[in-house]
Chain A
Amino acid sequence: MNSKNAQVLNSPKRRLVIQTAASVAGISSLGFPAISLAQNKPIRVGMPTILSGRVAMLGQSSSNAAIMEVEKFNASGGFGGRKIELIIRDSKGQPQEAARVARELVTAEGCEILIDAEASSGAFAVHEVARDLGVLVIHTCSETSSLTADPKMRTPMSFRCARQGVHDAIIGGAYAAKVAKEKNLRRWMTCSPDYAYGRDTTAEFAEYIKFFNKDIEFVGEAWPKLFQADYSEVITRLLQVNPQAIYSCLWGGDLTSFIDQATIYALFSGKQFFAVNTADYAVLTNVKNVPAGLHSGNRYLQSFPNTPANTSWTTSYQGKFKSLPLNWAWQNAASVQFLTTAIKKAKSTDAKKIAQALDGLTIDSPFGANGKLTLRADDHTLVDYALAWGELSGKEPFMKSPVPGNWKQITELEAEWKKRKGFV
C-alpha cells in the first residue's frame, strides 16, 4: 500500500464513510422491514350485506362478485404489492344491525373503505355511519333515488354504484308507453310491494308512462305486503278490475310466487304484464311458465349488452360459483373495479384521495351501455350502465329484442325530476 492510499484510508473522511455505511446498514436492518411491512399491509375494505333470511341471495351474489374482482386485483399484484382484504359481515337485513356492523368494520377491523351491499333500508343506516366516521362508502345495492339525488344525503366520501329507480322509471315509462300505443292499452293497474321502494318506483313509473302517453289511465292499485306468501286476494282484485295492462315492481321470490299464482288464475290471458324486476336469472330460472306478454327491464342478462366482455364475465362468475350472477353481482363487481382504478389513479390508499379520484371517474366495464361506466361528478351516482326493456321468453337469451335506454333522454328527464323534487 503506498503512502497516498494509506492516507486516504486512515483519513477522517474514510471514518465518516465507514460510519455512514454502518448507520445505513443499521437503519436497513431495523427501519426497512418496518417500511416494507407497511407496504405489504393489506387495504382493508369492509362489506356489510345480507347473508341470512329471505334476502340472503342479495348478499350472496354481491359478495361473490366482489370477491371475484378483489381476487383479480390481488392476483395482478394489487397496489404496489398491497392487496385488498375484503371483510364481509352479515347484517341479517336489519337496518340497526347494518349500522352496528358498519361501525364495527371501521372501528374494530380498521376499514377505511366500505362497500355497502345493503338493501335500501340498511343503506341509509350505513350511509349515516360512514358520514359520522368520515370513511369512504360505495353503496352497491340501494336503488332508492334520494340516496344520491337528495343534496342533504350527499358527502364527498359517498358514492352509489348501482342502478337507480328514476332511471328505470324513465326508460320503463318510455318503453311501456310505446307498447301501449302499439297495442292500444289504455286501462292500467299497478301491483307492487307495500313499502318505500314499491311505492316510490310505482309512482315514478306512472308519472313517466303518462308523460310519454297521455291516453294512459290507472284504474286501480294493489299493494301486497313484502314477502307475502299468498296473492289470491290481490289476483282476485286484478281480475275484477280487469285492466288491459299491469305494472309491478315485485321482485325476487315474491315476483315468482305472484307469476306462478296469477298464471293458474289465467290472469295474464289477454293482458300485458310489465314487471321491471323479472329479467334477472333468479326469477327467470324459477318461473317455469313465462306467460306471453311479459315485459321487463334488464336486471342482469349475459345477453345484454351483447358483448364478448359481458358474456366472458358471466362465464367466469358461473365457473367460480356454479350459479348465474344476479343484478347485485354486476353492481358490486363494478364497485370493486371503480375502487381499484381509483386507488391506482390516486396512487394512494388514503380514503380521501381515493374519493377524489372516484369523483367523475369513467372506467372500461362489461356492464356499460357503451363499454364504459361513470360515477357522475354532480351527485356521485352511476350512469351510462346498460339499460333496456323488452318482452321476455322462457329461455336464453330471455329478452330477444331488448330496447336500449337513451342516456341523453334519461339525463335530461332526471334533471327535470330533480328540480321538481327540490333536489337542485
Chain B
Amino acid sequence: MGTGLIIGSLLFLVAAGLTLIFGVLGVVNFAHGSFYMLGAYLALTVYRLTGHFAIAVIAAGIGVGLFGWIFERFLMRKVYKADVLMQLLVCYAVVLIMDDVVKIIWGAEFLSMGMPEAFQAPPFFIAGGVVPVFYVYLIAAAILIALALWAILTFSRTGKIIRAAAQNPTMTSALGINTSLIYAAVFAFGGVLAGLAGGLAAPVRSMSPGMGFSILIESFIVTVIGGMGSVSGALLGALLIGLIRSFGTIGFPLFVEGLMFLAMVLILILRPNGLLGKETRT
C-alpha cells in the first residue's frame, strides 16, 4: 500500500499538469516529459549551487513554469486550431530540441543528485512495511500540492476563470477576460507542476537526456484512466497505477507492465471518459 502511494505521488504531479493543460486548452502536451526532465536538471544545478533541496525544487518549478509560458506563447499558440498531427509534430520537435539542449548543457552521461543530508535517516518500519523518510516528505508534498490545486481551481477567482475558459472560451473572452493570458498561465502552471515533480524526483532518479519519455507514457495511462482533463481523476489514476505496480510485483511479477495497460483498456471499454472524466472536468 505504502509503495503504491510512493509511486503514485510523483506520477500524480506529472499527470496533473498534463491533464490540466488538456482540460483547459484541449491540447495534449506531448512535450510534458521534457518539462519534467528540465525540472530535474534545473533542480540539480540549483542544488549544487546552493546545497539546499527545497530551494532547488522551488527553482525547478519556477524555471519550468517560465519555460511553459514561453513554449505556449511562441509555439503552441500557433497550432491551437491546427489538427492534432501538427500539434504532435511541434511537441515532438521540442522534445528532440530539449534532449539536445540538455546534452549540450549537462552532458550525455547520466547524472545523479544524491540524497540530501536532511533525508539520510533510517526508514520508518510501519506494520511490517518499510517507509523511507524521503518518501514521507514526497507524499506530503504531493498531497499539499493536490490540495492547493483543488482549492485554487474550486474557490479562487483565477480557478473559476480557468474553469470558465475551459467550458466556453468565447463567452469568457466576451466577458472581457483575456483568455490568451489564461491559456499561457495554464501552460505555465502545468510546467510548474512538472518542474516540481522533476525536482522532487531528482534525489532518487538518475537524470539523462530523454528521461522524460518513460514518465510521459505512464502519465498518459494515468490521465486516460482518471479521465482526460480531470485533476482529481489524475490523482485517482496515479494511485491506482501505483497500487497495480505494487501488488502486481508480488502477484504477477512478469506481467506488471501488462497489468497497467490492461487496466487502461478495461477502463476505456467500461468508462470511455475515464473514472472521473465527466464529473470533474475542469
Contact = CB atoms under 8 A, between A and B. Distances in A.
Interface in B246-266: 246, 248-250, 253-254, 256-257
B204 A260 contact: yes
A256 B110 contact: yes
Interface stretch (A122-130, A224-232, A380-388, A404-412): A224-232
Contacts of A237: 249-250, 253
A61 B109 CA distance: 9
A265 B123 contact: yes
Nearest to A228: B214
Interface stretch (B113-121, B140-148, B164-172, B185-193): B113-121
Contact of B100 (A52, A57, A221, A254): A52
A56 B3 CA distance: 31
A257 B205 contact: yes
Which of A56, A233, A261 counts the most B-chain CB atoms under 10 A from its CB?
A233
Contact of A286 (B103, B110, B215): B110
Given A230-B10, A265-B123, A60 B112 contact: no
Contacts of A323: 107, 109
B86 interface: no
A56 B100 CA distance: 10
Given A57-B110, A233-B7, A289 B206 contact: no
B209 interface: yes
A282 B109 CA distance: 7
Given A59-B108, A236-B3, A260 B114 contact: yes
A395 to B, nearest CB: 14
Interface residues of B, number: 47
A390 interface: no
Contacts of A232: 3, 6-7, 135, 245-246
Interface in B145-175: none
Contacts of A2: none
A252 interface: yes
A229 B114 contact: no
Contacts of B246: 232-233, 236
Contact of A229 (B119, B122, B205, B253): B205
A326 B109 CA distance: 10
Contacts of B75: none
Contact of B130 (A51, A225, A239, A287): A239
B214 A227 contact: yes
B134 to A, nearest CB: 5
B111 interface: yes
Given A233-B246, A264-B119, A266-B130, A53 B215 contact: no
A240 interface: yes
Contacts of B210: 52-54, 56
B253 A222 contact: yes
A288 B214 contact: no
B207 interface: yes
Interface string B1-17: 00100110010000000
A42 interface: no
A95 interface: no
Contacts of B205: 229-230, 257, 260-261
A400 B246 CA distance: 38
B72 interface: no
User: What bracket does the count of chain A residues touching chain B fall in?
Assistant: 35 or more
A222 B213 CA distance: 23
Given A56-B208, A240-B250, A257-B205, A288 B107 contact: no
Most buried by A among B108, B111, B201: B108
Contacts of A253: 110, 112, 206-208, 211
B203 A233 contact: no
Contacts of B254: 223
B115 A256 contact: no
A314 to B, nearest CB: 16
A243 to B, nearest CB: 15
A263 interface: yes
Interface string A213-250: 00000000111010111101110110110000000000
B47 to A, nearest CB: 12
A260 B135 CA distance: 13
B256 A233 contact: yes
Contacts of A57: 108-110, 208
A229 B215 contact: yes
B177 interface: no
Interface in B82-135: 99-100, 103, 107-112, 114-115, 119-120, 122-123, 129-130, 132-135
B123 to A, nearest CB: 5
Interface string A13-24: 000000000000
Contacts of B123: 264-266
Nearest to B108: A56
Scoring B3, B119, B134 by chain A CB atoms within 10 A of each residue's CB, the highest score goes to B3
A222 B108 CA distance: 29
Interface in A276-290: 282, 286-289
B166 to A, nearest CB: 30
B108 A288 contact: no
Interface in B226-282: 245-246, 248-250, 253-254, 256-257
Nearest to B257: A225
A21 B259 CA distance: 86
A323 B257 CA distance: 36
Given A239-B130, A254-B206, A264-B119, A54 B253 contact: no
25 contacts: A54-B210, A56-B208, A57-B108, A222-B249, A222-B253, A229-B201, A233-B256, A234-B249, A236-B249, A237-B250, A237-B253, A253-B207, A253-B208, A257-B112, A261-B204, A264-B123, A264-B134, A264-B135, A264-B204, A265-B123, A266-B122, A282-B109, A289-B114, A289-B115, A323-B109
Interface of B: 3, 6-7, 10, 99-100, 103, 107-112, 114-115, 119-120, 122-123, 129-130, 132-135, 201, 203-211, 213-215, 245-246, 248-250, 253-254, 256-257
